[in-house]
Amino acid sequence: MLLTDDQKMLQETAANFLADEGSIAKQYRHWRDTHCEDGFGHALWKQFGELGLTGIAIPESHGGLGLGATEAALVLEEIGRNLTPSPFLTTGIVAAKAIEGTAHADRWYPGILSGEAVLALAVDEGPRHAPDQTALDAKRQGNGFILNGHKQFAVQAASADIIVTAARTSGSPGDTNGITLFAVPRDAAAIDNVNLADSSKAGRITFDNVELDADAVIGEVDGGWAPLSRALNVGRAGAAAELAGVAAGAAAMTFDYLRTRKQFGKLIGEFQALQHRAAHLYGEIETARAAVLKAAQMLGSGDDRADLWVSVAKAKAADVASLAAREGIQMHGGIGMTDEHDIGLYLKREAVLGELFGDVYYHRNRVAGLSCY
């Protein structure tokens, strides 16, 4: 896929900004080592807003750029390359898509655009991604609802102004009908803020008779599956793009090491066995990136095959990011196993992103199902 001049300019802007302000030392290591409860910097999020990056997925009618999944993927690839912790994916892409076309968009889009608002998505309840298995109970009471149940792996939930929450207003787990999306204020539920493998934060949320009025409903009662699916699809495509960036960042660090590290009087990059592994890794990364851009293009055009390509991209990018991180650590040798070197941080990040919005096995099965296997 060939990028337009505007897309190339956006990519260059994001690359320069994140390599400087979003670097591993300034962001990832800083917020990890200071034990920040958010796991990211709000000042950096506001800088995203100043550059207009927060408005990529927000329509022009609401002050955004009105761009598409391809532009979001280009930014997310650079975020992955630099391991930059930020709410860009969960807030600027996923939650923004979930509330699109509703009164909640009027309420929250200005804060997202300025980089002041943070929104989270709460979907999963079990050990695996299974949005159709939503069981969180939402019962009508008067002019509103009472929520009882739990959610987990809600990224940045403890830092969010609202949590976009999938609950069941009718039907049974396994039904796609009967799911409703709610905008739940952060303080309405009990949140256990936990560290993930990469030191980012996610919430285990307990809803114990949480009372919400009718205005908390996002869209239509019992009609949440369509907006949830749209949000999850852009999230999966975005996570795939970030994984492609993680792979590229790990590979670039490894290739630089092969060019400079000497062993037995020779640069280790001159050894044919390592050359073969490096060449294989490069080819795999290019394949993953092509799948990511294809999925983004399909989403942007509204193609009927978008679901299939999104799962292809997520599965492929997760596989390749894991390969790049593991190969990087092995080729670095002993230093790659230490926290002092950044290569191991890529392994931690790909482990979390690989699970987000469905792991490799979830998406392989989804590809098989969509292909009528």
Per-residue confidence in pLDDT tens, the chain, 373 aa: 789 999 999 999 999 999 999 999 999 999 999 999 999 999 999 999 999 999 999 999 999 999 999 999 999 999 999 999 999 999 999 999 999 999 999 999 999 999 999 999 999 999 999 999 999 999 999 999 999 999 999 999 999 999 999 999 999 999 999 999 999 999 999 999 999 999 999 999 999 999 999 999 999 999 999 999 999 999 999 999 999 999 999 999 999 999 999 888 899 998 999 999 999 999 999 999 999 999 999 999 999 999 999 999 999 999 999 999 999 999 999 899 999 999 999 999 999 999 999 999 999 999 999 998 8
Neighbours of 74 (CB within 10 A): 25
Question: What is the rounded end-to-end Cα distance, in angstroms, of the chain?
Answer: 28
Residue corresponding to tokens 């990040």? 349
Return d(Cα 331, Cα 257) in angstroms, integer.
8
**Which residue, among 86, 76, 96, has the nearest Cα to 200 in the 3D structure?**
86
Neighbours of 11 (CB within 10 A): 17
**What number does CATH give the domain 121-224?**
2.40.110.10
Q: Where are the domains of the chain?
A: 5-117, 121-224, 226-370
Q: In this structure, are residues 99 and 105 in contact, taking their beta carbons and an 8 Å threshold?
A: yes
Reading the block at residue 113, the tokens are 């655009």
- Name the CATH superfamily housing domain 226-370: Butyryl-CoA Dehydrogenase, subunit A, domain 3 (1.20.140.10)
**Which residue, among 350, 343, 349, has the nearest Cα to 250 in the 3D structure?**
343
Return d(Cα 248, Cα 224) in angstroms, integer.
36
Fold topology of 5-117: Butyryl-Coa Dehydrogenase, subunit A; domain 1 (1.10.540)
